[in-house]
Amino acid sequence: MRVPNEIIKIANDIRGMRIRGAGRIARTAANALKLASELYEGTSVNEYVNYMRKVSDILLNTRPTAVSLPNAINFIMSRLLRNIDKIGDINEAKAIVRNAADEFIKRSKKALELIGEIGARRIRDGDIILTHCNSSAALSIIIRAHEMGKDIRVFATETRPRFQGLITVKVLAEKGIRVSLVPDSAIRLIMKKIDKVIVGADAIAANGAVVNKIGTSQIALIAHEARVRVFVAAETYKFSPATVIGELITIEERSPDEVIPKEKLSKYVRIKVRNPAFDVTPPEYVDAIITEQGIIPPQAAILILKEEYGWIIKDYLFKLSSEDEEEVTTK
């Protein structure tokens, strides 16, 4: 069966950033799998599995950096594939996908709430916080601290070239939080005022390195210089199991049009415009990662990975060792 237009539209919305932010991308993908499953009209379980794999690939090919996307898809598809021998008919297969998608979305929303609760306890009355881009996990902490009655002030960067900082300031101002918008380039000047940096994450590697919106690593470096603490708010489904075996997280390179519109660029010759969308902050520049399971030092990322994704990691290691065997026998 061909992939329905509704799914192609969702994939295009993620690619075009009409749906954005790692957590939201993950929940949207879970919903898309559920919708695709409901729209499937055939009766063969095998064909259904192939169709669901195709839908998964289309969703996976939208944005490469947010690890929440493959983690959400794996959460659902692994439940289907693990039970494949026991599935009697198509309705049973569809029920597995529906329940897994609902469970993922429910857990994801609960995680955001818990991160808010846990993180807000780290905020002191009078704190001045700096945030970058637009992260629902980081906002959950800031908003919860405000709800607890703490008197806080926030600086938010514009976050060029897509200006997600404008969403952040709007949300915070609507909550009644005092907030100032600053250009990305003003960070070193204003860092003197800041008590804590709180940002989100698209991916966290096994060594605790944090991948987030371009500019995050500069902010962390400047914070380090000024002895300001850097907190990363991230659900456990932002942790990347593939990094345990040394895979790198792909940094998305987006269209140059986002930096300078085509008509303007044509006035300049022999210029290449680059637009990397994310960067990597080394663990040394991160003080703590706030997850729904508690606060961990970045160096403990591997423990979260072992607990949450031990089964995937075992799978990777098994594949690697069978590749080794193949190499030996073909030599």
Residue 60 CA to residue 274 CA, distance in Å, equals: 23
Interface of this chain with ligand RUB, residues 23 to 42, rule: CB under 6 A: 23-24
Q: Which residue among the candidates 125, 127, 133, 279 is catalytic per the annotation?
A: 133
What is the smallest separation between the CB atom of 281 and ligand RUB, expressed in angstroms? 12
Interface of this chain with ligand RUB, residues 57 to 86, rule: CB under 6 A: 66
202 is catalytic: yes
Contact call for residue 224 and ligand RUB (CB under 6 A): no
Neighbouring CB atoms inside 10 A of 184's CB total 17
- The nearer residue to ligand RUB, 66 or 77, going by C-beta atoms, is 66
- The nearer residue to ligand RUB, 81 or 275, going by C-beta atoms, is 275
Question: Residues 302, 283, 162, CA angle at the centre, nearest 5°?
Answer: 110
Residue 263 CA to residue 125 CA, distance in Å, equals: 49
Binding residue for ligand RUB, selected from 27, 144, 146, 213, defined by CB under 6 A:
213
Instruction: Round to the nearest angstrom and report the end-to-end CA distance of the chain.
Output: 42
- The nearer residue to ligand RUB, 74 or 164, going by C-beta atoms, is 164
Full DSSP string of 274-298: --B-EEEE-GGG--EEEETTEEE-G
- The nearer residue to ligand RUB, 137 or 286, going by C-beta atoms, is 137
Per-residue binder mask for ligand RUB (CB under 6 A), 103-142, x = binder: ------------------------------x-xxx-----
Residue 323 CA to residue 331 CA, distance in Å, equals: 12
Contact call for residue 277 and ligand RUB (CB under 6 A): yes
Six-digit token string for 127: 């704190």
- The nearer residue to ligand RUB, 4 or 208, going by C-beta atoms, is 208
What is the smallest separation between the CB atom of 135 and ligand RUB, expressed in angstroms? 3
- Whose tokens are 């706030």? That residue is 290
Six-digit token string for 202: 């698209």
Going from the C-alpha of 99 to that of each of 22, 27, 30, 57, 94, the distances in angstroms are 22, 14, 11, 20, 9
3-class DSSP assignment, residue 1: coil
Interface of this chain with ligand RUB, residues 183 to 202, rule: CB under 6 A: 200-202
Six-digit token string for 181: 């918008």
- The nearer residue to ligand RUB, 13 or 195, going by C-beta atoms, is 13
Contact call for residue 20 and ligand RUB (CB under 6 A): yes
133 is catalytic: yes
**How many residues belong to the site for ligand RUB (CB under 6 A)?**
17
Residue 51 CA to residue 53 CA, distance in Å, equals: 5
Contact 203, 231 (CB under 8 A): no
Contact call for residue 236 and ligand RUB (CB under 6 A): no
What is the smallest separation between the CB atom of 291 and ligand RUB, expressed in angstroms? 12
According to DSSP, the β-strands at 210-213 and 278-281 are antiparallel
What is the smallest separation between the CB atom of 35 and ligand RUB, expressed in angstroms? 21
Catalytic residues: 133, 202
Residues within the interface to ligand RUB (CB under 6 A): 20-24, 66, 133, 135-137, 164, 200-202, 212-213, 277
